[in-house]
Homo-oligomer: A and B are copies of this chain.
Amino acid sequence: MQSIADIFLFLLETYMRKKRTTIYDIAEKLNLTASCVSRALNNSNYVSEKTRALVLKTAAELNYKRNILATNLRNGHSKTIGIVVPRINQNFFSNIIAGIEEATYEKDYNLVICQSNEEHEKEVKCINTLINQQVDCIVISISADGHDYQHLKNVIDHGIQLIQFDRVVDELETLKVINDNEQASLEAVSHMIEQGYGRIALLEGPQHLSIFKQRKAGYLAALKKYNLPVIHELIVKNAWTKELGAKATRKLLSLSNPPDAVFASTSDFSALGVLEVATDIGFKVPEQLGICGYSNEAFTEITSPSITTIDQYSFFMGKTIANLYFEEMNIKEIAIQPKTISIKPNLIIRSSTSKKSTETK
């Protein structure tokens, strides 16, 4: 009975579970101990060059691959950075990820990427998964529909470095990498005013997210700077998808005194909604209606007319995030100082706001 099971197990071992070679296998072959092999593999100084060479050679022969699971368990970290974004298929976020990747690539860090789909519940689950995974750092731009940040506090309580970017929770004292949204919005709206637009509508995002508050502040600051009145019927709440932008535009353009420009502070997607509706209804862009979006999505360049927008240097931002982590990692302070890095975005002027110039391409 026993022997049959043995034979079965032997077959299993042999044919199925191609067993990975471990440092013990190498040690055995070389009449060494595992610890010595381990040292050789880890560039320790306490191994003779001869032994090291031998170990390396044998490791290659046996197709040895270090078991990172064991290494990480032993070391208490995973050399992994978790990233939580609302959606990876938005230009801004995929560039952030690409930037982080470039900076972490040579340092042998892994990226685990999660999408929250803008759902708070999913975001919480992502965070928990990442904590379980023992990631060393969590990089997050929070989803729009959540007001409870217990899960983020939880990250900190687990001793995991937390870096917020773009959509950050102000109250939480963490590392932050953001754009200077207010300044950028001020510039964008100022530009529109200088182009001759006087009744500029604002599509605003959820005001519990500071980025949208800041963009609104920039809008208001520009009006104030040029002594223009704040017209409340031109400020539309929560117009931050293409559909909501389109809906808002239909309403705005049917006003008895419609706006002559729209600052879609929420995203280029809402700006696209504006453009489509305006074109449909017969409003000429930029002559009768100026449009400015936010984020420099790839499509803003190929619409007709092309859309003025704000580039957030997202790739650079990603690199900044990664480097910030590596810097802070080396600081052995008792308490990590919260720190905020602000990146100045860049206004890209295109056709959709070029009222003065005659060329409309």
Contacts and interface: CB of A to CB of B under 8 A. Distances in A.
A334 B16 contact: yes
Interface in A52-104: 63, 65-70, 72-73, 78, 88-89, 91, 94-95, 97-98, 101
A63 B115 contact: no
A133 B68 contact: yes
A334 B15 contact: yes
Contact of A63 (B154, B272, B298, B304): B154
A256 interface: no
Contacts of A334: 15-16
A159 B327 CA distance: 38
Contact of A110 (B89, B112, B299): B112
Nearest to A83: B113
A117 to B, nearest CB: 9
Contact of A88 (B69, B97, B114): B97
Contacts of A128: 65
Nearest to A15: B334
Interface residues of A, number: 50
Interface centre among A69, A111, A335 (most CB of B within 10 A): A69
Contacts of A332: 16
- The quantity of this chain's copies bound in the complex is 2
A304 B18 CA distance: 55
B65 A132 contact: yes
A157 interface: yes
Contacts of A113: 111-113
Interface string A104-136: 000010111111000000000000110111100
A144 B135 CA distance: 32
A114 B113 CA distance: 9
Interface in A324-340: 332, 334-335
A158 interface: yes
A208 interface: no
Interface string A128-161: 1101111000000000000000000010011100
A66 B16 CA distance: 29
A43 B335 CA distance: 38
A39 interface: no
A157 B91 CA distance: 37
Contacts of A108: 129
A20 interface: yes
Given A73-B73, A157-B63, A68 B112 contact: no
Contacts of A88: 88-89, 94, 97-98
Nearest to A73: B69
A232 to B, nearest CB: 31
Contact of A302 (B73, B115, B303): B303
B132 A68 contact: yes
Interface of A: 15-18, 20, 63, 65-70, 72-73, 78, 88-89, 91, 94-95, 97-98, 101, 108, 110-115, 128-129, 131-134, 154, 157-159, 272, 276, 298-299, 302-304, 332, 334-335
12 contacts: A15-B335, A16-B159, A16-B332, A16-B334, A63-B154, A68-B132, A69-B134, A108-B129, A111-B112, A298-B299, A299-B299, A304-B304
